[in-house]
Structure 1
Amino acid sequence: MPASPSTARAINDRLALRLLQQEGPLTAGQLKQLTGLSRPTVADLVERLTASGLIAVVGESGEQRRGPNARLYGIVADRAHLAALDVRTEGVSVIVSDLLGRVLAEASAPIGGDAGTGPAVEQAVALVERTAKEAGADRLHTVGIGAPGLIDPAGGELRDSTGLPAWHRRLVAVLQERFPDARVSVENETNLAALAEQRDGAARDRDTFVLLWLGLGVGAAVVLDGALRRGASGGAGEIGFLPVPGTAGLPSATDCDGGFHSLVGAQAVAGLAARHGVAAPVPPHEPHAAALVRTAVERSGTDAAAARFLDALAGRVALGAAAAVAVLDPGCLVLAGEIGRAGGDAFAARVQDRLARMSPLVTEVRSSTLGGGAVLRGALLTARDRAQDELFAPTGR
Structure 2
Amino acid sequence: MAVRGTPSWLGDQNAATALRLLLDHGPLSRNGVGERSGLSRPTATQMIARLEDKGLIEVVGEESIGRGPRAALYGVRNDLAYGVAINVDQEGVRSTVVDLAGTRHPVAHKAAAGMPAHRGAARDVARAVLDACEAADVDLTAIRHIRVGVPSSVDPRHDELSSVAALPGWSRKSIRRQLEGALGCEVEVDNDVNLAAIAERATGPYSPAGTFALLWVGYGIGLAVDVAGTVLRGASGGAGEIGNLPVPRGVPGADDGARDLEGFLGARALDRIGRETGWAEDGFARVLAGETLPERVCEVYAPRLAQSVIPVLGVVDPEVVVLGGPVGRAGGERLVELTTRHLREHTRWDPDVRLSAVAGDAVLDGARTALGTRLREALHARATGSLPAADHARVLAERLRDID
1:381 to 355, 369, 373: 369
In 1, the alpha carbon distance for the partners of 2:280 and 2:290 equals 6
* Alignment partner, residue 268 of structure 2: 267
2:98–2:371 contact (8 Å) kept in structure 1: no
What residue in structure 2 maps to residue 299 of structure 1? none
The CA deviation at 1:240 is 0.7
Which residue of the partner structure matches residue 71 of structure 1? 72
Q: Which runs of 5+ in 1 are unaligned?
A: 251-256, 297-305
Equivalent position amino acid for 2:359 in 1: G
Name the SS of the counterpart of 1:392 in structure 2: helix
Q: Residues of 2 paired with 1:335 and 1:352: CA distance?
A: 11
1:270–1:289 Cα contact (<8 Å) kept: no
- Measure how far apart 1:123 and its partner are: 5.5
Map 1:160-309; keep pairs closer than 5 Å: 160-161=162-163, 163-169=165-171, 175-180=179-184, 182-201=185-204, 203=206, 207-245=210-248, 246=251, 247-248=254-255, 258-279=259-280, 287-289=285-287, 294-296=292-294, 306=295, 308-309=296-297
TM-score (norm 1): 0.83
Asked if 1:341 corresponds to 2:329, the answer is yes
Deviation at 1:93, TM superposition (A): 0.5
Inter-partner Cα distance in structure 2 for 1:236 and 1:16: 38
CA distance in 2, matches of 1:362, 1:9: 53
Consecutive unaligned residues of structure 2, counting only runs of 5 or more, are 388-404
Deviation at 1:337, TM superposition (A): 0.9
- Deviation per residue, 1:345-374 (Å, 9 max, x gap): 332232223223344444211212223321
Secondary structure of the 1:231 match is coil
Which whole-Å CA distance do the structure 2 matches of 1:86 and 1:66 have between them? 52
Deviates more, 1:132-141 or 1:313-322: 132-141
Aligned-pair CA distance for 1:186? 0.6
1:14 aligns with 2:4: no
| Larger mean Cα displacement after TM superposition, 114-123 or 97-106 | 114-123
Alignment coverage as a number of residue pairs: 374
Q: Which amino acid aligns with 2:362?
A: A
Whether contact under 8 Å (1:287, 1:338) holds in the other structure is no
What amino acid does structure 1 have at the position aligned with 2:29?
A: T
For the Cα contact (< 8 Å) 1:196–1:375, is it kept in 2?
Answer: yes
| Contact 1:149–1:158 (Cα < 8 Å) also in 2 | no
Change (3 A) 1:164 1:173: farther
Equivalent-residue separation in structure 2 for 1:231 and 1:270 (angstroms): 32
* Separation of aligned partners in 2, 1:237 and 1:338: 18
* CA distance in 1: counterparts of 2:301 and 2:314, whole angstroms: 20
* Matches of 2:91 and 2:276, distance apart in 1: 28
RMSD value, Cα:
3.1
**Partners of 2:155 and 2:339 in 1: how far apart?**
32
Query: In 1, Cα distance between the equivalents of 2:348 and 2:83?
Result: 45
* 1:254 matched residue in structure 2: none
Query: Residues 22 and 314 from structure 1, CA distance in 2 versus in 1: closer, same or farther, beyond 3 angstroms?
Result: farther
Distance 2:349 2:34 in 1: 45
CA contact (8 A) 2:155 2:161 kept: yes
Q: Percent identity?
A: 33
Which structure is higher in RCO with an 8 Å CA cutoff and minimum separation 6? 2
- Listed one character per residue, the Cα deviations across residues 81-137 of structure 1 (whole Å, up to 9, x for unaligned) are 111100012410110132223134431102349954447853652342143244222
Partner of 1:303: none
- Work out the CA distance in 1 between the residues paired with 2:372 and 2:341: 38
Residue of structure 2 equivalent to 1:253: none
Name 1:38's counterpart in structure 2: 40
After superposition, the C-alpha distances for 1:213-247 in whole angstroms (9 at most, x for unaligned) are 10001100111122111001100000111223243
2:353 corresponds to: 365
* Greater Cα offset, 216-225 or 51-60: 51-60
